[in-house]
Structures are given as structure tokens and as C-alpha cells.
DNA sequence: TCTGGGGTCCTAGGACCC
DNA sequence: TCTGGGGTCCTAGGACCC
């Protein structure tokens, strides 16, 4: 059957319902049918089962309030390893239908099934529903699914009929559905843009696509908004990002420390801890970074940071910490309270693509790499932070203390207790 | 709820060069 | 000399997403 006028392209969006809470229920049958929330590790709700939603709980709610409002609720610390395993299964299942799958986030993916109707002798609707059924049977989780001619419309569609809904949005239905879609709910138009549009009298997504291109230009809207405007009309202008293109461009680790601090060494050690974590991530991805930025966030929520280029590409902390130490005073000021720090490793390249620099800095750092590989192994086996740098010690000691306090108050299940710990206090110092 | 953590992409405007 | 015009490259910051 020819569906090419309804779907010049056929894009499907899959969105796991209440993903984290659903994974918990899928893993442990005793949690099914019960009000479950995740986020116990940070004291506020990140995901809720539908039973918890029915009791009046909602996202971002503090745990103490949740317990008061619905005492029967089961609070869990997020198990991100499990969530990412489920995510990988989701991608793998979608890929049994087509290789054109974008791994968009931990609980969502897009598939471009254009042309599969001809090759399979089924309609696009039948194919989308077949994928949905396979996902739900294999994972034990329901999905919101949308089929449309563009990514943005597929997102609009998958949001409807929650949970476990399927919505087909061919070109003929665009007007009807967009009249029922608030401008705030459109993917790609955030607070700033939708408020601007509201101010210009645009209330629904349909109002938006009625405006001519010249109107967008006149009011200073830029490319991302124009792309969204095209996509909503059924003209796909956002490609799927697939495969090699999906390698990360940057890796970031940021952490708030409580209480805030003015202590120079303590704040540097926070940064050091972030650098260690970021390097571990980069190594896991088989990449190296040749640029970075780091910042401190004050108690007033202002940011102070710098960007740096490195002489070579690294995946281990020493050179990176050396660079940060050199520029630390450009960012840190005496007598100011800081609440968070962060580091971003940028200009990431595959390990084999690294060109050693002329001054031998790369070769020198290579000698130390073996140490960090061993550290990865130990930490995988015995738990995070079994081995860490001396420069990170202050940060870890304090966060450990506050963690134990939370455990003893019952805010967090003490799953990491009882892990073996090695008697190796630190690896050396990065000064 | 006084505001977590990890990403991507786009653009204005400065630096630098004819 | 006080006076241009034009192009490219890069960075900082904004906006958005989950």
C-alpha cells in the first residue's frame, strides 16, 4: 500500500512510561501494582510508578513530603546500571526492525521505518505497533509510541494517550492534533521561546505553523525554532543521529557539595574528584580529551570558569589537574562561598586518533596510564572510590560522612555497605 | 522545592588578516 | 593616517533536551 503522501518519511518515537520506576517493577515482581518512587539517593523524586502518581505524588517532590502524603510509598535509590541495561535492550529490539535507530536517551529512541511498509507488506501503523508489542513483551515495561512524518511530530504523538498509548499522526491529521497541542508542550521550544511566542499571540502549535516564514525572521527567531516550525508542518528537517555520529562530544562531571565552602584546598579536591570521574568515563568510552573547561558555582548561583587547551590528548588525571591547578586562581576568589564545581572534557577523540605532541608530554603521560587502568579494575570490582587520588581525598572523606548520616536516618538504602574496601588510601598526589 | 546532573547545538561578536 | 571594507576563525554564552 502506498503511504508516501501521509508519511513522506515514517518516523517512530518510543518513550518508556515512568521508565525508572517501571524498570524497578520489571526487575522485582513484588513491586508490581505498588506505589514506587526512585530518587531516594538524592532525597527528591526522579520517577514514579502510576500507582504513586494516583496517590498524589509528583516529580521533584521532597521525599519527606512524599512519605507524609502517602505513607505506603516504596522509596528506592536509583539503579542506573539497570536502567542503562534496559535502555540497551530497548535499542537492540528496535534495531531488529531497522538499523536506522537513534539512541536518543535512556528511556527514548527514534526509528526511521521509511520504506519498510513495502518490504514487509504491512502498513507503517502495523509495523510501529509490532515494535511496541515486542518492546513491551521483552522488557515488561509499557511504551508511549508515536508515528509521524518528522521527529517533532512523532514526539507530539507519543505523548498522547498515556500510558501505553499508540498515536499515528499522518499529514492529514496534523491540523487536528496541533490545535490540541499547547505551544509549551512542543519539543524544541523551551521556556524562553514559548513565552516569546505566547506573547505574540501564539497559543497552540497550530497557531505557530500558520505563521509565515517571514514572520519568524521578523521576530528574531533563529534556526532551531525554524527547524521546529518546519517539522511541525510535516517537513522533516532534523536527521536521526545514528552510529558513529553518536559518540559523545564532551564529558562532564559536576557536583554540589553540602555545605557550601570557601576552603581553597577543599574546593580544589572537589574538582579533583570530578576530574577522576570524568577521566574514568572517557576511558570507558575509549576516548581522550585535548581540551577542557572547569567552573565553580557560587552560593549566589553565578558561574566562574575557564576553558583550556591541553598540549596533548589525555584520559588520566595528572596532566589535567596540573592544568587546572595552574589556572585555579583565575576562577577561585578568597572569601566567596562556593556550592558546586564541575569539569568538562572536550575535543574528544578515539584513542588511536591521538597524535603525540612534539614535546614528549604525551609519551610521559602514557607511562602512568597503566596505573589508572588498574584503578578502573579495582573500582569496578570493589565499588566506586575504593582507590582514588590523594588530591580528591578531602572531598571523598566528607561526602562519605554525609552519606553515612543519610543512611543512618533511613533516607537511603545502604546497599553499598558491606562492600570490601582495600587498604590503599591513595594513589599518589597530582601536584 | 530556594533551584541536581549530563549533554547538544547555535550565534553574536571579538580577534585577526588582508 | 583616524579612515575603510570584507572575510574567517574562535569563544563565550544562551537555549534546549532528558
Q: How many residues does chain A have?
A: 431
C15 C1' to A82 CA distance, Å: 31
Backbone CA torsion sign across A165, A16, A64, A28: positive
**Domain span including residue A324:** 251-426
Assign A427 a pLDDT band (cuts: 50, 70, 90).
Answer: very low
| Domain presence at residue A313 | yes
Q: Is the pLDDT of residue A161 over 80?
A: yes
Nucleotides of C under 7 A from a protein CB: 11-18
Find the range with the poorest average confidence among A224-238, A312-326, A366-380: A366-380
> What span, in angstroms and rounded, lies between the C-alpha atoms of A45 and A47?
6
Three-state DSSP state, A238: coil
> Among all strands, which nt has the closest C1' to A252 (CA)?
B6
Neighbours of A364 (CB within 10 A): 12
Find the range with the poorest average confidence among A182-186, A191-195, A380-384: A380-384
Phi–psi pair at A138, nearest 5 degrees: -75, -35
Contact A353, A360 (CB under 8 A): no
> What span, in angstroms and rounded, lies between the C-alpha atoms of A55 and A70?
6
What pLDDT shows up at residue A386? 58
What pLDDT shows up at residue A357? 53
The domain spanning residue A272 has which CATH number?
Answer: 3.30.1490.100
Strand B-proximal residues of A, range 245-284, CB below 7 A, are: 248-256, 277, 281
Pairing of strands A36-38, A101-105: unpaired
- Cα separations (Å) of A425 from A241, A281, A306? 43, 22, 31
Strand B-proximal residues of A, range 219-248, CB below 7 A, are: 222-224, 241, 248
What pLDDT shows up at residue A426? 24
Nucleotides of B under 7 A from a protein CB: 1-12
Q: Is the pLDDT of residue A379 over 80?
A: no
Q: Is the pLDDT of residue A209 over 50?
A: yes
| Domain presence at residue A242 | no
**Percent with pLDDT over 70 in chain A:** 82
Q: Is the pLDDT of residue A429 over 50?
A: no
What pLDDT shows up at residue A56? 85
What pLDDT shows up at residue A418? 28
What value does the mean pLDDT take over residues A277-299?
92
Q: Supply angle C-alpha A28, A31, A32, rounded to 5.
A: 100
Active site residue A108: yes
Residue carrying the nine cell digits 516529580? A59
Cα-atom radius of gyration of chain A, to the nearest Å? 25
Pairing of strands A11-16, A47-48: unpaired
> What span, in angstroms and rounded, lies between the C-alpha atoms of A155 and A171?
15
Three-state DSSP state, A11: strand
Assign A409 a pLDDT band (cuts: 50, 70, 90).
Answer: very low
Contact A35, A49 (CB under 8 A): yes
Q: Is the pLDDT of residue A265 over 90?
A: yes
Give me the catalytic one of A24, A102, A108, A125: A108
Contact A394, A386 (CB under 8 A): no
> What span, in angstroms and rounded, lies between the C-alpha atoms of A39 and A46?
5
Q: Is the pLDDT of residue A406 over 60?
A: no
B1 C1' to A77 CA distance, Å: 19
Q: Supply angle C-alpha A310, A316, A319, rounded to 5.
A: 40
Listed in sequence order, the residues at least 6 apart from A235 whose beta carbon sits closer than 8 Å to its beta carbon are A149, A150
Kindly list the protein residues whose beta carbon lies within 7 Å of any strand C atom: A 104-108, 155, 186-194, 224, 293, 305-307, 309
Three-state DSSP state, A4: coil
Question: If DSSP states are collapsed to H, E and C, what string results for A255-283?
Answer: EEEEEEECCHHHHHHHHHHHHHHHHHHHH
The total of structural domains in chain A comes to 1
Assign A408 a pLDDT band (cuts: 50, 70, 90).
Answer: very low
Assign A34 a pLDDT band (cuts: 50, 70, 90).
Answer: very high
| Domain presence at residue A10 | no
| Domain presence at residue A340 | yes
What value does the mean pLDDT take over residues A46-69?
87
Listed in sequence order, the residues at least 6 apart from A264 whose beta carbon sits closer than 8 Å to its beta carbon are A332, A334
| Domain presence at residue A183 | no
Find the range with the poorest average confidence among A247-256, A288-297, A349-358, A383-392: A349-358
Assign A301 a pLDDT band (cuts: 50, 70, 90).
Answer: confident
What pLDDT shows up at residue A366? 60
| Domain presence at residue A271 | yes
| Domain presence at residue A356 | yes
Pairing of strands A74-76, A36-38: parallel
pTM for the whole structure = 0.83
| Domain presence at residue A81 | no
What residues pair up with A388 in beta bridges, in sequence order? none
What value does the mean pLDDT take over residues A23-43?
92
Q: Is the pLDDT of residue A59 over 90?
A: no
What the block records as the C-alpha cell of A15 is 518513550
Q: Is the pLDDT of residue A385 over 70?
A: no
Contact A420, A382 (CB under 8 A): yes
What pLDDT shows up at residue A61? 82
What the block records as the C-alpha cell of A367 is 607511562
- Cα separations (Å) of A375 from A98, A272, A279, A354? 39, 15, 11, 22
**Percent with pLDDT over 90 in chain A:** 65
What pLDDT shows up at residue A420? 26
Q: Is the pLDDT of residue A196 over 50?
A: yes
What value does the mean pLDDT take over residues A360-369?
58
Closest residue, by C-alpha, to the C1' of C17: A188
Q: Is the pLDDT of residue A425 over 50?
A: no
Quick check: A56 CB within 7 A of strand B? no
Contact A153, A232 (CB under 8 A): yes
Quick check: A291 CB within 7 A of strand B? no
Amino acid at each position: 500500500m502506498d503511504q508516501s503522501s501521509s508519511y513522506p518519511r515514517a518516523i517512530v518515537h518510543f518513550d518508556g512510561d515512568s521508565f525508572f520506576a517501571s524498570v524497578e517493577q520489571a526487575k522485582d515482581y513484588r513491586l508490581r501494582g505498588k506505589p514506587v518512587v526512585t530518587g531516594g539517593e538524592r532525597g527528591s523524586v526522579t520517577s514514579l510508578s502510576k500507582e504513586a502518581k494516583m496517590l498524589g505524588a509528583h516529580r521533584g517532590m521532597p521525599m519527606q513530603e512524599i512519605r507524609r502524603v502517602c505513607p505506603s510509598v516504596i522509596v528506592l535509590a536509583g539503579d542506573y546500571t539497570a536502567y542503562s541495561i534496559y535502555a540497551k535492550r530497548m535499542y537492540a529490539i528496535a534495531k531488529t526492525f531497522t538499523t536506522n535507530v537513534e539512541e536518543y536517551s535512556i528511556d527514548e529512541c527514534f526509528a526511521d521505518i521509511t520504506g519498510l511498509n513495502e518490504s514487509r507488506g504491512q502498513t507503517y501503523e502495523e509495523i510501529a505497533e509490532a515494535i511496541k508489542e515486542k518492546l513491551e513483551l521483552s522488557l515488561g515495561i509499557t511504551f508511549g509510541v508515536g508515528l509521524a512524518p518528522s521527529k517533532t511530530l512523532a514526539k507530539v504523538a507519543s505523548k498522547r494517550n498515556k500510558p501505553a498509548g499508540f498515536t499515528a499522526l499522518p499529514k492529514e491529521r496534523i491540523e487536528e492534533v496541533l490545535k490540541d497541542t499547547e505551544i509549551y508542550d512542543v519539543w524544541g521550544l523551551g521556556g524562553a521561546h514559548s513565552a516569546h511566542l505566547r506573547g505574540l499571540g501564539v497559543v497552540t502549535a497550530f497557531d505557530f505553523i500558520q505563521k509565515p516564514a517571514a514572520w519568524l525572521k521578523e521576530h528574531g527567531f533563529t534556526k532551531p525554532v525554524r527547524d521546529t516550525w518546519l517539522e511541525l508542518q510535516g517537513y522533516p528537517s532534523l536527521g536521526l543521529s545514528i552510529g558513529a555520529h553518536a559518540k559523545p562530544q564532551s564529558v562532564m562531571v559536576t557536583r554540589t557539595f553540602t555545605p557550601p565552602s570557601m576552603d581553597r584546598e577543599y574546593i580544589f579536591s572537589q574538582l579533583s574528584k570530578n576530574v577522576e570521574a570524568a577521566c574514568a568515563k572517557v576511558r570507558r568510552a575509549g576516548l581522550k580529551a585535548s581540551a577542557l573547561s572547569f567552573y565553580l558555582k557560587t552560593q549566589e548561583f553565578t558561574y566562574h570558569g575557564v576553558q583550556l587547551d591541553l598540549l596533548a590528548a589525555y584520559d588520566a588525571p595528572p596532566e589535567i589537574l596540573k592544568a587546572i591547578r595552574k589556572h585555579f586562581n583565575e576562577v577561585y576568589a578568597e572569601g566567596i562561598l562556593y556550592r558546586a564545581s564541575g569539569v568538562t572534557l572536550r575535543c574528544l577523540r578515539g584513542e588511536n586518533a591521538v597524535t603525540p605532541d612534539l614535546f614528549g608530554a604525551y609519551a610521559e603521560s602514557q607511562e602512568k596510564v597503566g596505573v589508572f587502568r588498574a584503578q578502573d579494575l579495582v573500582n569496578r570490582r570493589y565499588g566506586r572510590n575504593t582507590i582514588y587520588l590523594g588530591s580528591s581525598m578531602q572531598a571523598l572523606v566528607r561526602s562519605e560522612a554525609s552519606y553515612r548520616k543519610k543512611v543512618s536516618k533511613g533516607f537511603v538504602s545502604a546497599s553499598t555497605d558491606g562492600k570490601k574496601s582495600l587498604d590503599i588510601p591513595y594513589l599518589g598526589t597530582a601536584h
